Structure 1
Amino acid sequence: MTTDESTAGTEAGATPDAPVDAPVDAPAAEEKPAPARVPAWRGGFGRLWSAAVISRFGDSLRTAALPLLAASLTDDPLLIASVTACGYVPWLLFGLLGGAVADRVDQRRAMWAVDLARGVLMAGFALAVAQGHGTIALLLALAFLLTTLQTLFDNAATALLPAVVPRETLAGANARLMTGQQVASGFLAAPLVPALLVIGASAPFAANAATYVVGALLIASLRTDAPAKAPRAAGSTLRAEMADGTRALWRDSALRGLSVATALSNIGMGALIATLVLHITGWLSAGNSGYAAVITAYGVASVVGGLVAPRLALRIGRTRSILVAGIVQTCALVVLGTVRDLWVAVAAMAVFAVMGMVWNVNQATLIQERSPAEMLGRISSAFRTLAIGGAPLGALLGGLAAAAWGLNTPALLAAGAFTLAVASLGALIN
């Protein structure tokens, strides 16, 4: 379950000789993860981790500041919501293309070039805001362009990690990456935004520009060779390569089931996230302090989940870990939607967050382990495109449900979506 998959990768040559159209139908339940190991900070992982965490820190500054800036420019809810929507649309339009390009190019160079481009965009935007030229149209264009570039960056990052860490440390690498990004986002960036806004409305965006430049320098300093690429067939086109990646995802029974489950769960996540503030401040009458308590609990528990995820996979297997996570999350959502008590909500969201990280870490690692190295960018982009598509649909359904049946119903709607996700996962291991 994720609407924002972290930097990840797969072992180069994990299944390099698998034909593009060959189904890979070994049941995921039979997979026996290797003993959990953590990657060494030397050899490039420390720099890659630092780049990912610093970039997420800057992204979180921007994400927190953009709605505030939008609200200061207009009181039209549709325009303000459109700023967020522009963060999803490019994935639906260009996600598959970004994966195909990532499989063609040197991923390291693509990543630092994209980060430099994003740094220039953000610096220009910060300057425009500082000079009083910020407009809703500019916000919409910025959100669209940044996410378009992210489709290439994220897919290139997915394909690069296996050249940096050994296969047996992939789960530990994913856990460290996601945990570090969660700390940077939830505990460092969020409290800093108000202080930066005291300096000026452009300060969070200027800081975001600086983080992109630092990230680009870190990635450019990597001396790791990119994963080997199989020669492309003569006359091969990006469209054909995108289709190959989508077909490879769909023919792998485990990844197909996981992609469907993730799309369903992200419908639930979209419904929950879009209305959570109304659930806490309205249905629970807990006010802003109650909402802050829930968000804080979620952030802390996500870090705990990053530590738990590799160990749980070692005990019961990767797919079963995702299945258990989905079952527990469903129960947490039912509690959240039926028990009208703030501290029960805090506990439910904490449990939900721990299991969410278990899902995310093992999902990323499963994709890495089962994808041919030369197709990893395309397979992961097809997975992301399908998964991210569920979030805006869920947000719309959550808003409609809250208006029609009450502010607690989106949580129950999310529980229903997770139930379907669990059912689709359960079919894989039966």
Structure 2
Amino acid sequence: MTAAVHVSGTGERSVAWRGGFGRLWAAAVLSSFGDSLRKAALPLLAASLTDDPLLIASVTACGYLPWLVFGLVGGAVADRVDQRRAMWTVDVARGLLVAGFALAVALGHASIGLLIALAVVLTTLQTLFDNAATALLPALVDRATLGSANARLLTGQQFAGGLLAAPVVPFLMAAGAGLPYAVDAATYLVAAALVASLRVPAPEHPPRPAGATLRSDIAHGLRVLWRDRVLRRLCAATAVGNVGIGALLATLVVLVTGWLDAGSGGYAAAITAYAAGSLVGGALAGWLARTLGRVRGILVAGTAQIAALVAMGTVRDLVALVVGMAVFGAMGMVWNVSTHTLMQERPPAAVLGRVSSAFRTLAVAGAPLGAILGGAVAALWGPNTPMLLAAALFALSVTALTPALKSADSGQTTQTAR
């Protein structure tokens, strides 16, 4: 089943809401709302349990580590199974796990160790879910509308997850410490029902060579990624940038509540600004891709993010942080939309899950390092220094991606599949 498309006044093809894409979008947006409640509440919960920046950062770091262990396996499995079934099964499991965590928090049994365990288990399940979702989208929409579909998905997720969810976190926590997690659990279960209702034909997997194993499938996905110069460079740039993002995310609550003395309200304002900026970025992503090309658009976005990070790390004012987070969010959305679309456009469909997992695993590898590094830097030199560290890393990221422009302009694609 392929969703219908329509042509805008500018000649751009965009995906229609009806059919399978509408339900997938609703599931993604609803789940993002719940996830954002949990992700915004966890650092505040961690900060209430300890004042050690390194321990607080470790919660974020451990949320990335499973990608390094299970990410490649998740992609190989996603290419072998029914992606729709894998997605709703994972969401049911995550809903039950988060419901149990909500009960533990409500009963006063929260601890840093429990927060870390939850982060590890949820991310382990996410390795299969995200790779299956990346492989499923091209089966739901026309190839020419992938950019529009990704923009709508990511923008909708940011709108629900940041603009709607973040401001209500302090109120939910005031009503009950476990309430944000209970809502998150409910959204997982409803999203699972929406995905299960999709009418997508079971994927046709080509015959596998005799003796094919998960290890050989993983190796093949890595080779496909390496042979595509654009994806290879983009993966390296994203990995370096993610070191900076890991440092930023892990210490943002310390920056806001410590350096700026803005409390949980200031933290909610920063997250909301990021989400609002992301909505603008979702609208800009298509225009930049048409005007400059996807890779050049990513380079422009990265350069703007460097400026925002420098401002946030040097100006000790909540307004400067809010504006900087808005710019950072807008340009981050441009980066993400173009990255998702390039990952879905360039590899053959038969290896999309493996290429996606190889890209994500290598790119995410920098985030836990950045989280720990950010916590250490904040403890040694002050809570604003992780922002400046992130700016320097984004400068390296933009430099690493620049050589990919020539390959992108030539329209090079990967043709090897198995």
Same-fold call, TM cutoff 0.5: yes
Q: Do the aligned partners of residues 205 and 246 (structure 1) sit closer, same or farther apart at CA in structure 2, a change above 3 Å counting?
A: same
Contact 1:57/1:181 (8 A) holds in 2: yes
SS of 1:42's partner is coil
Q: Equivalent residue for 1:58?
A: 34
CA distance in 2, matches of 1:134, 1:333: 33
Superposed CA offset, 1:359-414 (max 9, x none) = 11001101110011111111111111111111122223333434444444332222
The equivalent position to 2:71 in structure 1, one of 88, 95, 100, is 95
The equivalent position to 1:252 in structure 2, one of 224, 228, 253, is 228
The equivalent position to 2:217 in structure 1, one of 199, 221, 241, is 241
Q: Equivalent residue for 2:307?
A: 331
Please, what is the CA RMSD of the aligned residues? 2.6
CA distance in 2, matches of 1:216, 1:287: 35
One-letter amino acid matched to 1:103 = D
Confirm whether residue 411 of structure 1 aligns to residue 387 of structure 2: yes
CA distance in 2, matches of 1:190, 1:179: 15
Bigger CA drift: 181-190 or 347-356? 347-356
CA distance in 2, matches of 1:347, 1:163: 38
Q: Do the aligned partners of residues 141 and 359 (structure 1) sit closer, same or farther apart at CA in structure 2, a change above 3 Å counting?
A: same
Q: Equivalent residue for 2:288?
A: 312
Q: Equivalent residue for 2:404?
A: 428
The equivalent position to 2:159 in structure 1, one of 168, 177, 183, is 183
Counterpart mapping for 1:243-282 below 5 A:
243-280=219-256
Q: How far has the Cα of 1:241 moved from its partner?
A: 0.6
Confirm whether residue 231 of structure 1 aligns to residue 207 of structure 2: yes
Confirm whether residue 360 of structure 1 aligns to residue 336 of structure 2: yes
The equivalent position to 2:188 in structure 1, one of 203, 206, 212, is 212
CA distance in 2, matches of 1:363, 1:389: 17
Bigger CA drift: 71-80 or 46-55? 71-80
CA distance in 1, matches of 2:107, 2:403: 57
Q: Equivalent residue for 2:416?
A: none
Q: How far has the Cα of 1:131 moved from its partner?
A: 4.6
Q: Do the aligned partners of residues 127 and 89 (structure 1) sit closer, same or farther apart at CA in structure 2, a change above 3 Å counting?
A: same
Q: Equivalent residue for 1:401?
A: 377
Q: Choose between structure 1 and 2 for higher RCO, CA contacts under 8 A separated by at least 6 residues.
A: 1
Contact 1:159/1:227 (8 A) holds in 2: no
TM-score, normalised to structure 1, is: 0.85
Superposed CA offset, 1:102-138 (max 9, x none) = 0000000111111111122223333444455555544
List runs of 5+ in structure 2 lacking aligned partners. Answer: 4-9, 407-418
SS of 2:165's partner is helix
Contact 1:36/1:171 (8 A) holds in 2: no
Bigger CA drift: 164-173 or 412-421? 412-421
Q: How far has the Cα of 1:207 moved from its partner?
A: 1.7
Q: Equivalent residue for 1:41?
A: 17
TM-score, normalised to structure 2, is: 0.87
Q: How far has the Cα of 1:287 moved from its partner?
A: 6.2
Counterpart mapping for 1:53-92 below 5 A:
53-71=29-47, 79-92=55-68
Contact 2:154/2:282 (8 A) holds in 1: yes
Superposed CA offset, 1:302-329 (max 9, x none) = 1110111011101111111111111222
Q: How far has the Cα of 1:71 moved from its partner?
A: 5.0
